[in-house]
Homo-oligomer: A and B are copies of this chain.
């Protein structure tokens, strides 16, 4: 034990406190997630709480089918998606469920099934070598990576807890000696590069070791989980398979993983897709600690960030409940996932019983079979659910909330996600100041997401594909500006991970205006980028307008590319273009090698218009331009030898040899088309002109002229985000006065 006390003062104090507590209470079982009291309450309510009963019926059906099918514990062999991987995954999911069913139904068939599986694993594990597949930086035994081995233990520790008392002391001893203890040691002591990080991988590892420790009453394992391994001998420059650093100096264990990646707003720096993945071990281990060691007050840690983050996560979903797919993220992943059932139920029960979480639970249509699920199901049955109203929000990034952030601007059916976060660890993309736009939950301007087919073995073993690095992470794969065809930070994680964008301001104070503004000064040496995005409701327009002001200042002339990855079919443009034949890649590196150049054009006008039809709705981009700008029509999919990429379209404004410049655009959502009625309504842009009035260091001012003659003015104060600062500016011989960093008003001529 003495080793453990050398970590840090903070750890030491906490640990002393903890050690003092351990052993005071004779531990009963189950106690980790389900408690004896909880089981009694659930049993007392059976048949009276619809959602709980339905969830129980569903789980029982699934486990019964599995028991009928029979047990298989195959010799580990495959990557994700292969049989042995999927079988072991299914086994641990079923074990957890069988344990719960045994407790609730008190039918020994579930305990017997579970016991047979556990001893099957016990028999195999004793002599099990490291997994034969070699791709991982931390190979597991049952699975190709320790990460999945940790998944297994997080679930199986719950299962073990459920039949702990039912097993004989001798049986428990065998399991603990031959399976659980060596298993926990393997994923921690034998793999510090996996266990001792600030990363979702380690969160799983910490939780796995800690949870089995709680069940076994093994203080050493619990401490290892909470504070990490003191001496890990990890090379500080070592990286994982995704290119992320292994080591975050001096920060290890569950508390560090709770402290570091969450911002005070509950934003998890890897983004929602990985937050979802990490939430399960965070919440399960926390629940276990809450139940076994309530004195640690783990849910209250860092201003209850772990519970708060659940609401943040729901806020980072589109109107269909799908997570905004920035950083490495699978499109379609949503709050329907099993991890979010856990998150919502636990946040409700162990948090402040927020009734808006109940409406999400209703949509999920199932609850956990434990105290938290009972609480949620009862509250729903009592009619306590309220709608979860997603509004425009800004979430800070960074442990202290000072490393940029992310905004979601919402109005009507439109949702705009504007990203100015830190890098987001190894799953982060080089996408400073990028955005994506949704209409009714459907992508209008997309972020590509990740290049990976999770668990589809034929596609690179279900793992990250080469194109994830060569395309999806690169700056040009995002709706943001690229300088000299290089990615932000030159695509170097070493630099990127030390920097972050700066939030300039976020405001929803003016009715009908949602606005966020941020700056990025480090992505390119000598280049400052300042982007402001707003959703503007105006009576002259059918739907709110998207305003996009992207100001770039460079200390030397550079070439700028600003892509818009529109989804849908081109309807028309107001400029001429020529298609290419044959069609070749736009470049050779930094993602450009994956873009076909299908056509290009130029315009003599001061504006360009580009209209497309997406999901039966028309959209038009109107942008400030000039005859120097090249207007490029791209298509993703070049240099893609295994057809891993989607053949999606892009439109790009290329501005060469500029130093200081302004990209100003309005995106209109208008009208609609029905293939059933064959009616095409309001299919044309209502904007006749977009004008630049001023663009200097202090102010940027643009005019938007509607075809009905009305004109709007938008002014941004570039250097002063103070809400109460007073401004005065003369535009076209008229003086405007206002307070705060922006002005949006009608121009009365």
User: Which residues of A are at the interface with B, using a C-beta cutoff of 8 A?
Assistant: 81, 86, 330-334, 336-338, 453-459, 462, 569-572, 578-579, 581-585, 596, 598-599, 611, 613, 633, 635, 637-643, 646-647, 649, 673, 675-680, 683-684
Contacts and interface: CB of A to CB of B under 8 A. Distances in A.
B638 A455 contact: no
A193 B578 CA distance: 39
Given A86-B679, A458-B684, 14 more contacts: A330-B675, A332-B675, A453-B613, A455-B678, A456-B673, A459-B572, A569-B646, A570-B643, A579-B639, A581-B585, A581-B639, A582-B585, A598-B637, A599-B643
Contacts of A330: 675, 678
Given A571-B456, A676-B336, A683 B81 contact: yes
A680 B585 contact: no
Contact of A676 (B333, B635, B642, B646): B333
Classify the interface of chain A: helix, strand, loop or mixed: loop
A646 B567 CA distance: 12
A456 B572 CA distance: 11
Q: Would you list the 4 A-B pairs with minimal beta carbon distance, nearest first? A: A332-B675, A582-B584, A582-B582, A570-B643
A486 B725 CA distance: 72
Contacts of A635: 647
Nearest to A331: B675
A585 B454 CA distance: 34
A546 to B, nearest CB: 21
A748 to B, nearest CB: 28
13 contacts: A81-B680, A330-B675, A332-B675, A334-B676, A337-B676, A453-B673, A453-B680, A454-B678, A458-B611, A458-B684, A569-B646, A570-B643, A579-B640
Contacts of A679: 86, 455
Contacts of A458: 571-572, 611, 683-684
Contact of A338 (B459, B646, B677): B677
A643 B633 contact: yes
Contacts of A456: 571, 613, 673, 680, 683
Contact of A583 (B336, B596, B599, B642): B596
A148 to B, nearest CB: 12
Contact of A584 (B86, B453, B581): B581
Contacts of A454: 675, 678
Nearest to A675: B332
Nearest to A678: B454
A611 B643 CA distance: 12
B457 A683 contact: yes
A343 to B, nearest CB: 14
Contacts of A643: 569-570, 599, 633
A596 B582 CA distance: 9
Contacts of A337: 676-677
Contacts of A455: 673, 678-680
Contacts of A459: 571-572
A281 B647 CA distance: 42
Contacts of A86: 679-680
A332 B572 contact: no
A635 to B, nearest CB: 7
Nearest to A454: B678
Contacts of A639: 579, 581
A251 B601 CA distance: 52
Contacts of A678: 330, 333, 454-455
* Residue among A332, A583, A633, A640 with max Cβ neighbours from chain B (10 Å): A583
Contacts of A649: 647
Contacts of A642: 570
B81 A676 contact: no
B338 A462 contact: no
Contacts of A462: 680
Contacts of A677: 337-338
Contacts of A333: 675-676, 678
B579 A641 contact: yes
Contacts of A582: 582-585
A723 to B, nearest CB: 41
A62 B570 CA distance: 32
A462 to B, nearest CB: 7
A454 B596 CA distance: 29
A313 to B, nearest CB: 15
Nearest to A671: B456
A599 B646 CA distance: 15
Contacts of A675: 330-333, 454
Nearest to A647: B647
Contacts of A683: 81, 456-458
A207 to B, nearest CB: 19
A333 B453 CA distance: 33
Nearest to A638: B581
Contacts of A684: 458
Nearest to A683: B456
A566 to B, nearest CB: 11
A677 B633 CA distance: 36
* Residue among A333, A462, A596 with max Cβ neighbours from chain B (10 Å): A596
A579 B596 CA distance: 13
* Residue among A338, A578, A649, A680 with max Cβ neighbours from chain B (10 Å): A680
Contacts of A633: 643
Contacts of A640: 579
A628 B442 CA distance: 45
A462 B330 CA distance: 37
Contacts of A81: 680, 683
A673 B457 CA distance: 12
A342 to B, nearest CB: 14
A66 to B, nearest CB: 14
A638 B598 CA distance: 9
A338 B646 CA distance: 36
A377 to B, nearest CB: 21
Contacts of A646: 569
A337 B679 CA distance: 11
Contacts of A637: 598
A641 to B, nearest CB: 5
A476 to B, nearest CB: 18
A676 B364 CA distance: 12
* Residue among A330, A331, A578, A579 with max Cβ neighbours from chain B (10 Å): A579
Nearest to A618: B456
A642 B462 CA distance: 38
A584 B583 CA distance: 6
Nearest to A593: B581
A708 B456 CA distance: 22
Nearest to A679: B455
A582 B454 CA distance: 30
Nearest to A332: B675
A542 to B, nearest CB: 16
Contacts of A571: 453, 456, 458-459
